[in-house]
Amino acid sequence: MSEKRILMSGNEAIAEGAIRAGCAFYAGYPITPQNELIAYMAKNMPKAGRVFIQAESELAAINMVYGASAAGFRAMTSSSSPGISLKQEGISYISGAQLPAIIVNIMRGGPGLGNIAPAQSDYFQATRGGGHGDYRLIVLAPASVQEAYDLTREGFALADKYRIAVMILGDGVLGQMMEPVTLAGKNAGKPLPKRWALTGCKDRKPNVVKSFFMAEGGLEKANLDLQKKYKIIEKKEKRYEGLFLKDAELILVAYGTTARIAKNALFRLRGKGRKVGLIRPISLWPFPADAFRMPGRKARYLTVEMSYGQMVEDVKLSSGCAEVDFLGRSGGGIPGEEEIVNKVNRMMI
Amino acid sequence: MKKIFTRPEALKDAPNHYCPGCGHGIAHRLIAEIVDETGIRERVIGVAPVGCAVVAYDYWNFDCSEAAHGRALAVATAIKRLRPQNIVFTYQGDGDLAAIGTNETIHAANRGENLTVIFINNAIYGMTGGQMAPTTLVGQKTATTPSGREGKGHGYPLKISEILSLLPGVCYVERVSFQDPQHVLKAKAAIKQAFLNQIKGQGFSLVEILSPCPTYWGMSPKDALDWTRDVMQKEFPLGKIK
Ligand SMILES: Cc1ncc(C[n+]2csc(CCOP(=O)(O)OP(=O)(O)O)c2C)c(N)n1
Ligand code: SF4
């Protein structure tokens, strides 16, 4: 495997990460700002002997991923906000049937058709459910092209390990910006043996992949099994990056693209002697609550998002602070470095 | 002594939940017999619908997947593409295949997916309590067309098989009926053809079965069979469409 650094967009890095993680099946439907991803897959999946399908809709694409995963293969779909709304049916079925899958959401403005500008306003949809039923997705939020590549690969391993759908949550900036990437990094692991998969019932009892449990108590038991699995994931799979947390009096909280802007603001503020820190959640579910629970910390929190405060709730719950400040825009605007610096300066007078 | 009638190995020894006189039980058995006869039980993968046949996998003795309502052909497409050596079929009602799943149906057919589709046309939504289906006949009373279906406004009976037969990706389409034992044998021959086509790699094959739903047609099982012959067939003529 090449250790060379090559220049790629976030969309392409996710696609390449998937291919190198052994993704055997991809189905998608065009939508901006993730079109580079589907084009990359169209070009490179067949070359690698894998299956690429341009589906007739996002609904068909996610249900194809359901079938591919049921057949025991690593599978992925990608889209942007309106398309992800359409996929919610399949995501719920995939969760109910405990199938591993990767779903990429390169977020754009909403609600409705919104616009094609970058946004982070699908946070609730990604972390709270989106589709029907008591289920969770592991949600990973890369902040650089390299991390988009790495987390996609890691996502496949997590999906297999827990038989769960993993969402890679990026935005239009991350999807389209170009950065150098090292195409190696963390191992996605060999696909685990899938004894439950549909392969034909040679030398064994028939397998059934389903999310339907009609018998008395059947669904409750299945749901409790899911909850047990989610508890383990909450315990083991929280990820975040923390900067200057030891002495911070004010902690910025941001993920993905806004975390990069917040980081720049942080260095400027530190340069002026402001005791500012940063928590960058990498897993949005499970939310890295531990990062907010350092004994003796008395910091205030300021979340920075390209949404109208969808993450604030999680910061409040994790930190136990009743008041959490917020700076954000969505619908086209990106909170700027200057805005963050000014807001912090006002808060720290 | 020679045993001339027995349960196919591809059918589990399980009581089914279908109403007396329902066509689903017959269709399940025919598929199981064909799976045995073609020797594919260990490599067949069925995709069950959402509809009265939602738990078809409780009756078939081979690998099966559930699919969301209408999405069976999207699910089957992926399975077959990844496992071309397996024999993959979908089993779908008229609501599943020709209303909520029309898009998945038409595009799987148009891509010429090498799949077998068993399409149960009972002109009604059985599972949800007898509402209008896309195939409900004009004049037919259902829970949602209490005064009978009118073409204008409710829509005319949708001839999805004829529509699909126009697509170059489609290999074989035939409409059969369960009205009497002779026709059941003909239905079996058509279903077998649809499986053999896939085994030979010939592409998308669909068999539409006019299948009785005595419960929501408000008829005895015998009258329901006669109705498929005397009434339903006028709208949905039997025979090979493609
Ligand atoms: C998304 C969604 N919408 C509606 C339903 C409810 N529903 C279940 S089966 C069905 C119709 C079944 O009719 P058909 O496909 O003709 O099969 P039948 O029961 O007649 O065999 C409907 C509307 C559902 N399960 N999922
Ligand atoms: S409601 Fe109709 S289709 Fe459903 S099991 Fe009863 S007879 Fe069969």
Query: Which of B17, B122, B223 to mutate for ligand 2's pocket (most ligand atoms within 8 Å of CB)?
Result: B122
Percent of chain B with pLDDT over 90: 98
* Residue A190: predicted pLDDT: 78
B86 chain-A contacts, CB cut-off 8 A: 198-200
Token representation of residue A84? 């992800």
ipTM, two decimals, is 0.97
Nearest CA in chain A to B72: A63
Which single residue is written with the structure tokens 């991923």? A65
Is the pTM here over 0.95, yes or no? yes
CATH class name, domain A241-347:
alpha beta
Cα B54 to averaged position of ligand 1 atoms, centre (Å): 9
B107 chain-A contacts, CB cut-off 8 A: 55-56, 60
Residue B103 phi, psi dihedral angles, 5° rounding:
-60, -50
**Coil, helix or strand for A313?**
helix
Q: Quick one: pLDDT band at residue B1, thresholds 50, 70, 90? A: confident
Q: Quick one: pLDDT band at residue B13, thresholds 50, 70, 90? A: very high
Smallest Cβ distance to B66: which of A27, A51, A211? A211
* Residue A295: predicted pLDDT: 83
Residue positions counted in chain B: 242
* Residue B99: predicted pLDDT: 98
* Residue A158: predicted pLDDT: 97
Q: Quick one: pLDDT band at residue A168, thresholds 50, 70, 90? A: very high
**In chain A, count of helices (H) and strands (E)?**
11, 15
Q: Is pLDDT of A189 > 80?
A: no
* Residue A188: predicted pLDDT: 73
Calculate the dihedral angle through the C-alpha atoms of A119, A120, A122, A124, rounding to the nearest 10 degrees: -150
- Nearest residue to A169 via CA among A115, A112, A211, A128: A128
In whole angstroms, give the CA distance from residue A70 to residue A99.
7
Which atom number of ligand 2 is nearest to the Cα of residue B21?
7
Token representation of residue A226? 């899911």
Q: Determine contact: B53 vs chain A, CB below 8 A.
A: no
Q: Is pLDDT of A3 > 80?
A: no
Smallest Cβ distance to A67: which of B62, B78, B103? B78
Say which CATH architecture domain A5-236 belongs to.
Answer: 3-Layer(aba) Sandwich (3.40)
* Residue A228: predicted pLDDT: 98
Q: Determine contact: A101 vs chain B, CB below 8 A.
A: no
Which atom number of ligand 1 is nearest to the Cα of residue B96?
15
Which single residue is written with the structure tokens 């690998």? B63
CATH class name, domain B24-240:
alpha beta
In whole angstroms, give the CA distance from residue A228 to residue A57.
34
In whole angstroms, give the CA distance from residue A11 to residue A15.
6
* Residue B180: predicted pLDDT: 97
Neighbours of A232 (CB within 10 A): 10
Which atom number of ligand 2 is nearest to the Cα of residue B24?
8
* Residue A185: predicted pLDDT: 62
Which atom number of ligand 1 is nearest to the Cα of residue B122?
20
Rama region for B113: left / alpha / beta (φ>0; ψ in -120 to 50; rest): beta
Contact at CB, A201 and B79, closer than 8 angstroms:
no
Q: Which of A53-62, A289-298, B88-97 has the lowest mean pLDDT?
A: A289-298
Residue B51 near ligand 1, beta carbon < 6 Å: yes
In whole angstroms, give the CA distance from residue A346 to residue A298.
18
Residue B124 near ligand 1, beta carbon < 6 Å: yes
Average pLDDT value over all residues in chain A: 96
Average pLDDT over residues A234-247: 97
Atom 1 of ligand 2: nearest residue by CA position: B126
Q: Is pLDDT of A316 > 90?
A: yes
Q: Which of A183-187, B140-144, B226-230 has the lowest mean pLDDT?
A: A183-187
Atom 26 of ligand 1: nearest residue by CA position: B69
- Nearest residue to A185 via CA among A151, A142, A140: A151
Is the CB of residue A243 less than 8 Å from the CB of residue A318?
A: no
Contact at CB, A206 and B60, closer than 8 angstroms:
yes
Average pLDDT over residues B53-65: 98
Token representation of residue B140? 């037919």
Q: Quick one: pLDDT band at residue A24, thresholds 50, 70, 90? A: very high
Q: Is pLDDT of A1 > 70?
A: no
Residue A138 phi, psi dihedral angles, 5° rounding:
-80, 125
Give me the residue spans of the domains in chain A: 5-236, 241-347
Cα B92 to averaged position of ligand 1 atoms, centre (Å): 10
Closest-CA distance of chain B to residue A348, Å: 53
Q: Is pLDDT of A125 > 70?
A: yes
Q: Is pLDDT of A347 > 70?
A: yes
**Coil, helix or strand for B121?**
strand
Q: Is pLDDT of B159 > 80?
A: yes
Is the CB of residue B89 less than 8 Å from the CB of residue B65?
A: no
Cα B107 to averaged position of ligand 2 atoms, centre (Å): 28
- The pLDDT tens digits for A58-101 are 999 999 999 999 999 999 999 999 999 999 999 999 999 999 99
* Residue A89: predicted pLDDT: 98
β-strand partners of A104: A78, A168
Give me the residue spans of the domains in chain B: 24-240
Contact at CB, B82 and A68, closer than 8 angstroms:
yes
Token representation of residue B71? 């999405």
Query: Which of B22, B24, B47, B50 to mutate for ligand 1's pocket (most ligand atoms within 8 Å of CB)?
Result: B50
Average pLDDT value over all residues in chain B: 97
Average pLDDT over residues A115-135: 96
Question: What is the DSSP secondary structure assignment for residue B100, as one 8-state letter?
Answer: I
Residue B18 near ligand 2, beta carbon < 6 Å: yes
Which single residue is written with the structure tokens 């629970």? A293
Is the CB of residue B135 less than 8 Å from the CB of residue B98?
A: yes
Q: Is pLDDT of B4 > 90?
A: no
Q: Is pLDDT of A195 > 70?
A: yes
Cα A46 to averaged position of ligand 2 atoms, centre (Å): 44
B57, B77, B127, B198: best to mutate for the A interface, most A CBs within 10 A: B77
Contact at CB, A56 and B103, closer than 8 angstroms:
yes
Residue B28 near ligand 2, beta carbon < 6 Å: no
Q: Which of A19-23, A190-194, B231-235 has the lowest mean pLDDT?
A: A190-194
Q: Is pLDDT of B24 > 70?
A: yes
Average pLDDT over residues A232-245: 98
Residue B125 near ligand 1, beta carbon < 6 Å: yes
- CA distance readout (Å), B25 to A94, B91, B238: 28, 12, 21
Contact at CB, B78 and A71, closer than 8 angstroms:
yes
Token representation of residue A109? 């403005």
CA contacts within 13 A on the Cβ side of B6: 8
Calculate the dihedral angle through the C-alpha atoms of B133, B139, B140, B144, rounding to the nearest 10 degrees: 60
Which residues, 6+ apart, have CB-to-CB distance to B107 below 8 Å?
A55, A56, A60, B73
- CA distance readout (Å), A47 to A29, A174, A177, A182, A305: 20, 26, 25, 21, 39
- Of residues A186 and B170, the one with the higher pLDDT is B170
Inter-chain CB pairs, A–B, below 8 Å? 126
Q: Is pLDDT of A22 > 80?
A: yes
- The pLDDT tens digits for B108-150 are 999 999 999 999 999 999 999 999 999 999 999 999 999 999 9
Residue B49 near ligand 2, beta carbon < 6 Å: no
Helix locations, chain A, DSSP H? 10-20, 35-47, 58-70, 81-96, 123-128, 145-162, 172-176, 218-236, 256-271, 312-319, 337-347
B36 chain-A contacts, CB cut-off 8 A: none
Atom 9 of ligand 1: nearest residue by CA position: B51
A89, A93, A196, A201: best to mutate for the B interface, most B CBs within 10 A: A201
Sort B145 into a burial class: Cβ within 10 Å, 0-12 / 13-18 / 19+. middle
In whole angstroms, give the CA distance from residue B59 to residue B29.
9
For the CA of B160, the nearest ligand: 1
